[in-house]
Amino acid sequence: MRLGLVMSEVGTGLRRNVSMVVAVVLVTFISLTFVGAAILLQFQINQMKGYWYDKAQVAIYMCVGSDPVAKCNLAEATKDQKAAVEAQLTSPALAGLVKTATFQDHNQVYATYKASFSDNNTADFVTPANLPETFYVNLKDPSQSDAVIESISGLAGVEQVVDQRKYLDPIFSALNAASFTAVGIASLMLVAAVLLIATTIRLSAFSRRRELGIMRLVGASNRFIQTPFIIEGVVAALIGSGLACVAIVALVKFFVQGYLAGRAQGVALVGMHDVAIVVPVLLVVGAVLAAASASVAIGRYLKV
């Protein structure tokens, strides 16, 4: 009985303010789409970090005969020099840090190179002798790479020691910047959404001020008076959040998995299981914001 009455009040309110409700729906839709995109971007960054940091290693490039670097002096690293590096890696100072260390000779490095740049013409001019023999060192804790670099790079026959993780950092910081931009836009839009919901509810309450006056006079409880307005705001916001969820699902399904997955093979991309986390977050954020701003907006009409 009372539920029916409340719902009919909600329906009346939504119909009476169609244009404002549409505005609320659209603003909530756009703002929550940005929120969802920001969350997905963070997921993507974390996933890529996990994937790449696992693969990225400290690479110890040995000198090659054609190397003009002063340290190498155009001399190929000797067997002894390679052994010295290996000994250093297994020495007590570094053994605690190193998980695995693998050595690749010219031919192995060339094979990997060919595989990576198969569609690149420069691969045709490179010979195995051009490519340095390399120790790939996997660390237990990737952030400790400095210790390895320091102790190895001074050894004779070592051209360069590189922490490959450093190549990835600019990519991640670019992605991070994108994600913060999305968060910034999202929060501005959310502020707009909250204000718009409050205004809509005030309008709705104003157009029903006669009823509200009588309700207060005859002793309708505050909860009974405010519930229709809060539901009104929540319904409008939930329609917007629903649309945002649809947009996020479509984004992942058609853009990320349909388009990006085809282009960027070998990169772990966000998938539907990430969307399954984002969707409820968006719905809850939409509903909670709407309920909060609507109950603040209607508060003025409840003062006794």
Partner 1 sequence: MIRFDQVTKLYKGNARPALNSVTLEILRGEFVFLVGASGSGKSSFLRLVLKEENPSRGEIHVLGQNIGRLASRKVPYFRRNLGVVFQDFRLLPQKNVFDNVAFTLQVIGKSKGFIQEAVPDVLKMVGLAGKTNRLPHELSGGEQQRVAIARAIVNKPAILLADEPTGNLDPSTSAGIMSLLERISQSGTTVIMATHDAGIVDQMQRRVIELVSGQVVRDERQGGYQTQTVPIQAFATTPGAYRDLGIAGQSEETR
Which residues touch 272 (CB under 8 Å, ≥6 apart)? 249, 252, 253, 257
Torsion angle in degrees (nearest 10) through CA of 170, 166, 268, 247: -20
At its nearest, how many Å lie between partner 1 and the CB of residue 220? 4
At its nearest, how many Å lie between partner 1 and the CB of residue 233? 20
At its nearest, how many Å lie between partner 1 and the CB of residue 211? 6
3-state secondary structure of 136: strand
Asked whether position 216 contacts partner 1 by CB under 8 A, the answer is: yes
Nearer to partner 1, 156 or 302 (CB): 302
Return the residue of 80, 166, 221, 246 that touches partner 1, per CB under 8 A: 221
Asked whether position 69 contacts partner 1 by CB under 8 A, the answer is: no
Q: How far, CA to CA in Å, does 146 sit from each of 95, 97, 162?
A: 14, 11, 10
Nearer to partner 1, 225 or 279 (CB): 225
DSSP state, residue 256: I
Asked whether position 215 contacts partner 1 by CB under 8 A, the answer is: yes
Asked whether position 18 contacts partner 1 by CB under 8 A, the answer is: no
Nearer to partner 1, 219 or 266 (CB): 219
At its nearest, how many Å lie between partner 1 and the CB of residue 217? 6
Question: Which among 127-135, 141-149, 170-178, 220-228 is the span making contact with partner 1, rule CB under 8 A?
Answer: 220-228
Asked whether position 171 contacts partner 1 by CB under 8 A, the answer is: no
Return the residue of 170, 219, 262, 266 that touches partner 1, per CB under 8 A: 219
Residue 76 has phi, psi (to 5 degrees) of -65, 140
Contact by Cβ (8 Å): 281, 39: yes
Asked whether position 2 contacts partner 1 by CB under 8 A, the answer is: yes
Residue pointed to by tokens 């917007």: 240
Beta carbons within 10 angstroms of residue 51's beta carbon: 14
Please state, in angstroms and rounded to a whole number, the distance separating the CA atoms of residues 269 and 213. Answer: 56
Q: How many residues bind partner 1 (CB under 8 A)?
A: 18
Ramachandran region of residue 157, left (φ > 0), alpha (ψ -120 to 50) or beta?
Answer: left
Beta bridge partners of 134: 61, 104
Return the residue of 52, 53, 113, 224 that touches partner 1, per CB under 8 A: 224
Asked whether position 81 contacts partner 1 by CB under 8 A, the answer is: no
At its nearest, how many Å lie between partner 1 and the CB of residue 299? 12
Please state, in angstroms and rounded to a whole number, the distance separating the CA atoms of residues 222 and 61. Answer: 75
Asked whether position 213 contacts partner 1 by CB under 8 A, the answer is: yes
Asked whether position 304 contacts partner 1 by CB under 8 A, the answer is: yes
SS (H, E, C) 29-40: HHHHHHHHHHHH
Nearer to partner 1, 29 or 301 (CB): 301
At its nearest, how many Å lie between partner 1 and the CB of residue 51? 56
DSSP code string of 164-198: THHHHHHHHHHHHHHHHHHHHHHHHHHHHHHHHHH
Return the residue of 79, 218, 262, 273 that touches partner 1, per CB under 8 A: 218
Instruction: List residues near partner 1 by CB under 8 A.
Output: 1-2, 5, 210-211, 213-222, 224-225, 304
